Amino acid sequence: MVRDMKQYISSCPQCQINKVNPGDKTLAKTIPFQPALFPFHRVHIDIKGPLPQTENGNRYILVSIDAHTKYVMVSPMPNQETKTVINAFMESVITKFGIMELLYSDNGSQFTDQRFVQLGKHYGFKHQYSPVNTPHLNGQAERVNRTLAVMLKTAAEDYSTHWDLHLSKMVFVYNTSPHATTKETPFFLMHGFDPLLPSDLLLRTFSQRRTTYGETDVAMQHIMAMNNAYEQAALQTHRTDDPNDDSAPIPSAPSSQKTITKNDLILIIDPAKKSKFQPTWIGPFRVLESGRSIIKARLLSDPRKITTTHVNKCKLYFTRDSSPILEQESNI
């Protein structure tokens, strides 16, 4: 009886097209990243904005993060046009740290533009794009964006019209703070020494990693210290349970989520929804083809309408035995 009641409730047509329940979500199968083994093995890049326009005309931030050290590089921008992004990328990344082996970004038009593609070919780095509707795969850059958002919001009252002038200070604080994943500061993992901070001068708490190298074998001592730091960071990274860290395996299909296959009935998020009172989902659709991330389906109420969408925008639809929509389909 209880099972029948649950099935009856879960198959309510109006509830299904209006509600978004935790168990509804479907995710495309993903392949986990291989751990970044050294600085600039892989760099993640993203754009944050639009933000309040500054007196210098800046509204966006190009955010780059090195996957191995978690070191963050930023550049304020007046717009997000391809030429502007390329100039900011050259200024904040390439001319300061050199060329990465792999650049990872979303499918933004700035990054898929032929000018940016040619930039990669010219400098010899590989450029990999995250699949459509999978921003979680660029989680490193997304998390830095959230951190910057908090910093900017905290300082909004003082820096609302000139946040771009203080952006480098905010990022310096981030880079000189121990990272939650590696338990080490991004600055040390990138540069091999701790910076001298104003607080050190005030409290006279000087880092041992600035003063322990002797006059002989300096290079060897430096290498040993860096190798030790990398080993400890890698150890902490593998121990972390942080789902946003790229070293943690990305699940293909969590057990609480449902897999969509051929002939399933599904609902699709309505891209044209304009009012909060409109249904969130449209359908049902009958699945004609189901790939790893792309779904092709036919609308039951109008068989002429066939649509292709991403699996992240779909959820399974449950019917009742006497559903009129199924009777309509059987008569087609």
Euclidean distance between CA atoms 325 and 198, whole angstroms: 70
Query: Right CATH number for 2-28+253-330 from 2.30.30.140, 3.60.20.10, 3.30.930.10, 1.10.10.60?
Result: 2.30.30.140
Each residue's pLDDT tens digit, 61-85: 999 999 999 999 999 999 999 999 9
Residue 324 has a pLDDT of: 55
Read off the tokens for 130. Answer: 């995250």
Residue 331 has pLDDT above 70, yes or no: no
When pLDDT is cut at 50, 70 and 90, the band that residue 294 belongs to is confident
* Three-class secondary structure of residue 80 per DSSP: coil
Strand spans (E) along 148-280: 265-269
User: pTM for this one?
Assistant: 0.65
Q: Is 63 exposed, middle or buried (0-12, 13-18, 19+ CB in 10 A)?
A: buried
Q: Is 192 left (phi over 0), alpha (psi -120 to 50) or beta?
A: left
- Rounded to the nearest integer, the mean pLDDT of the chain is 79
Read off the tokens for 198. Answer: 């104003």
Residue with tokens 């604080």: 173
Residue 101 has pLDDT above 70, yes or no: yes
Domain ranges of the chain: 2-28+253-330, 42-239
Residue with tokens 């991004």: 186
The Cβ of residue 295 has, within 10 Å, a number of other Cβ atoms equal to 26
CATH superfamily of domain region 42-239: Ribonuclease H-like superfamily/Ribonuclease H (3.30.420.10)
Lowest mean pLDDT among 17-21, 202-206, 280-284, 323-327: 323-327
Each residue's pLDDT tens digit, 223-276: 566 666 666 666 665 554 444 454 443 444 443 456 899 999 999 988 887 666
Answer for the pair 28, 309: CB distance below 8 angstroms, yes or no: no
* DSSP sequence for 121-157: HHHT-EEEEPPTT-GGGGHHHHHHHHHHHHHHHHTHH
When pLDDT is cut at 50, 70 and 90, the band that residue 171 belongs to is very high
CA distances from 156 to 52, 58, 163 (A): 9, 15, 8
CA distances from 303 to 17, 126, 269, 315, 328 (A): 19, 43, 19, 19, 11
Each residue's pLDDT tens digit, 11-43: 677 676 666 665 566 655 555 677 888 899 999
In sequence order, the 6+-apart residues with CB closer than 8 A to the CB of 145 are: 46, 48, 63
| Amino acid at position 312, single letter | N
Q: What is the 3-state secondary structure (H, E, C) of 56-90?
A: CCCCEEEEEEECCCCCEEEEEECCCCHHHHHHHHH
* DSSP sequence for 27-42: -----PPPPP-STTSE
Answer for the pair 266, 292: CB distance below 8 angstroms, yes or no: no
Dihedral sign from CA coordinates of 98, 48, 129, 240: positive
Residue 219 has pLDDT above 70, yes or no: no
Read off the tokens for 37. Answer: 């083994």
Residue 1 has a pLDDT of: 60
Euclidean distance between CA atoms 171 and 183, whole angstroms: 17
Peptide bond into 198 cis (omega under 30): no
* Three-class secondary structure of residue 46 per DSSP: strand
Answer for the pair 176, 190: CB distance below 8 angstroms, yes or no: no
